[in-house]
Amino acid sequence: MKTKAPVAKNERLDVTIADLTYQGMGVAKVDDFPLFIENALPGEELTIQVTKVQSHYGFARAIAWKSESPDRVKDVDKTYRQTGIAPLQHLAYPAQLKFKQHQIAELFSKDHQDVDVAPTLGMENPTQYRNKAQVPVRMIKGQLETGFYRQHSHDLIPLTDFYIQDPAIDAAIVKVRDILRQFEIPAYNEISDKGVIRNIMVRRGYYSHEMMIVLISRTQKLPSQAQLVDQIHQALPEVTSIVLNVNAKKTNVIMGNVTRTLYGKPTIEDSLLGLTFAISARSFYQVNPQQTEKLYQMAIDKAGLTGEETVIDAYCGIGTISLALAKHAKHVYGVDVVSEAIEDAKVNAQKNHLSNVSFETNKAEFQMAKWQEDGIKPDVVVVNPPRKGLAESLIDSTAKMGPKKVVYVSCNPATLVRDVARFQELGYDIDGPIQPVDQFPQTPHVESVTVLVKK
């Protein structure tokens, strides 16, 4: 029998915020019925208006505050919330770190697992940290604009300061925007499927300061291409690579499969934990280098390597963790599904004079099963999967190989909890506290390192 919700659309109520959701929204309960409210913090008393009612939950907006949290940050720029760039900017940074620790602990406790979660490792300056930007380009009132979409829409809000990006990247986007305007190059129009420039992507090495500009275009060639490229590298002396990526499809996917270097090299270089990496336009490279060093160092320390171990790095990308592990292991095997990433990983191994690594292009779960059949016996397996977590078959193959340790680097606590439960069924236990690391300050995202040991 369907129970009726205790609230109705447009109804006004006085509530107290009990908690934050994993997306950073405030939660108020009316007769155990949760209402989600943007820009509301735990402990705050406010008047709200219900905007949407589903069968098990609803949404509301804040109308007036009767009391405010001591953790509330005043004078925030609402644009960053509207675009989803910094949904937690109204929460003081120490409270953001506590929220992330609590988020992991809460998910484990809901799954009836009693785990110890260490305090989140934060940043000294929790802004201006991103080393990569992908910004959409649109025509607004006949002029090419760069910015970010309003949440849940494709309406572009023009922006020149992105708050969480390296300021040199923000400045570069403005220069490229002005040059595109100067050459009258039209932005892509997704309704008519006409126009040229869809997105601008900028990568900048944190240590090297080398910069790559990627122009993502609907067309195979840009109008006035040679002059345009010349202007960009004259205006931006740090640029060592200008790349054209062609995406002619009518799609929300940002990049296409065709990439051409228009100026300089096809990659930029940067260093991480004292190793040098070549990063191409489409390769995955962590966007917060300062925190990535903490995260990866933590994974290496927890692996407890002596130089005698065989290690597997599933989801190795361009080899960032693999090569850092190789300095302390006998041999490291890495696998990734993106062929360009594996090409980069092989180049990076040569760059760093490391010969005790082997890289394969494959889905991690297929390659793990193959290595298991080939009789490879790892002492340690490191996994760093995307948000959807690990395939069950990968967990099974890992358990059959019987490594003493599994080091799980997670970017999604929900799939971490699910995967840990599966490892526990197969004879592994959590060893020591889970360590959260704040890779994405001002947002609800949290990375963490968990160690599982064979019983």
**Residue 359 within a domain:** yes
Asked if residue 110 belongs to a domain, the reply is: no
User: Which element (helix H / strand E) includes 69?
Assistant: none
Separation CA 434–CA 74 (nearest Å): 32
Residue range 154-167: average pLDDT?
93
Nearest 5°: the CA angle 302, 417, 439 is: 60
Give the pLDDT score at 82: 84
From CA 91, how far away is CA 376, in angstroms rounded? Answer: 48
Give a yes or no: residue 6 inside a domain.
no
Average pLDDT, whole number, for the chain?
A: 94
Query: 306 and 183 in one domain?
Result: no
Same domain, 261 and 144: yes
Q: How far apart are the first and last CA of the chain?
A: 46
Res 170 pLDDT > 90: yes
Rounded Cα–Cα distance for residues 56 and 75 (Å): 34
Do both 296 and 445 map to the same domain? yes
- In the chain, the number of structural domains is 3
- In 3-state terms the chain splits into helix, strand, coil percentages (rounded to 5) of 25, 30, 40
E strands, 17-57, in order: 19-20, 26-30, 33-37, 45-53
pLDDT of residue 252: 86
Q: Residue 2: what pLDDT?
A: 57
Comparing 46-50, 67-71, 92-96, 154-158, which segment has the lowest mean pLDDT? Answer: 154-158
Let me know whether 267 and 292 are in one domain: no
Helix axes of 413-425 and 392-401: crossing angle, nearest 10 degrees: 40
**pLDDT tens digits for range 255-275:** 999 999 999 999 999 999 999
User: What DSSP character marks residue 442?
Assistant: T
Say whether both 336 and 437 belong to one domain.
yes
CATH code of 208's domain: 2.40.50.1070
What CATH number is attached to the domain comprising 303?
3.40.50.150
Range of the domain at 40: 12-70
For residue 293, what are its two tokens?
Answer: 């060093």
Catalytic residues, which ones? 411
The domain boundary residue, chosen from 239, 272, 305: 272
Report d(CA 35, CA 12) in Å as an integer. 12
